Amino acid sequence: MEKEINPRSRWETISDILRAISEERVGEAYLDWRNFQKHFNFLAEHGFVGNSEDSKEGKGKDYYLTERGRDLLNRLGEVGKILEETF
């Protein structure tokens, strides 16, 4: 018997990206590059994600959640809990 695959909603995808950035584990957002870029760019353009040049180690940019991003992640977590309790 095959498993039914339920695609993530947009808010679940955004929540996964925010969580991955906050935990410095971006590879664990489990998205193909094109979809990751689309959602990441949205988050950056709307001030949920920021970046800083890391001149000490020569890595380039480090990405982090802004205060607005942390607030969004918390709110999406609350919505997720409500939905889990409801369904």
Token match 């094109």: residue? 34
Q: Is the pTM of this model over 0.85?
A: no
- Domains annotated for the chain, with CATH where assigned, are 10-86 (1.10.10.10)
C-alpha distances (whole Å) from 77 to each of 15, 37, 41, 50 are 8, 22, 21, 20
pLDDT, tens digit (0-9, with 9 covering 90-100), for 29-46: 778 889 889 999 999 999
The residue that leads in pLDDT, 60 or 30, is: 30
CA gap 5, 64 in Å, rounded: 31
